[in-house]
Structure 1
């Protein structure tokens, strides 16, 4: 996902946090937590969504550099977010 995709994701997350979480983490516990936080109060839903985006893109950047963080990020239940979207297989580095 290029810069335009990230900007689009941020705009979606500002308008409706659960949709941004769904695009990053998929359908799972993180989405359920975000929906509950958004329904309880709108701001915690944003905080949770942007935290997931931060962890996702940080782990993705680390994986592209060949570094791996084996410790799970607290409060993140999606394996996709924990691994930066790369999974546990072989990582192919793109330029």
Structure 2
């Protein structure tokens, strides 16, 4: 289910007219709301920028969480867990974060320069993926033969 366009429009109009109300609708009465109120009293334009920053971050992260993607680290100048988590619970965000780490660990470890797997114990290594695909790789020592590169890393 997508976020209703009406809700986005209401928040955008409130961001233009009175940003603290739009921030309170998204985050609730917390540090972000107080910070936006202080900025609105001291200088109106930064309050608008902060309000749009919060609303765009919230809607972007909410879309990511709905797709099952980890929304990322907390953003600067946003203290609300609701915004940083995209409306998801802490448990859900931890699950998405650990899923991201597992998928990253599942990939093969490659060298930065050559794209060939590092530290293979034999000259030829077979990588078998979950879908049955087999990949053959040559050890880094063999990849240096005939390239004009020495085996030394210190250059």
Structure 2 length normalisation: TM-score?
0.56
Q: What does 1:13-52 align with in structure 2 at a 5 Å threshold?
A: 13-52=15-54
Q: Highest CA radius of gyration, 1 or 2?
A: 2
Computed over aligned residues only, the root mean square deviation of the Cα atoms, in angstroms, reads: 1.4
- Which of 83, 86, 104 aligns to 1:84? It is 86
2:55 aligns with: 53
- Which of 64, 74, 81 aligns to 2:76? It is 74
Conserved in 1, the CA contact under 8 Å of 2:71 and 2:86? no
Structure 1 length normalisation: TM-score?
0.89
Alignment: residue pair count: 91
In structure 2, distance between residues paired with 1:46 and 1:90: 31
Q: Which runs of 5+ in 2 are unaligned?
A: 94-155
Deviation at 1:90, TM superposition (A): 4.4
2:13 aligns with: 11
Bigger RCO of structures 1 and 2 (CA < 8 A, at least 6 apart) = 1
Q: Which runs of 5+ in 1 are unaligned?
A: none
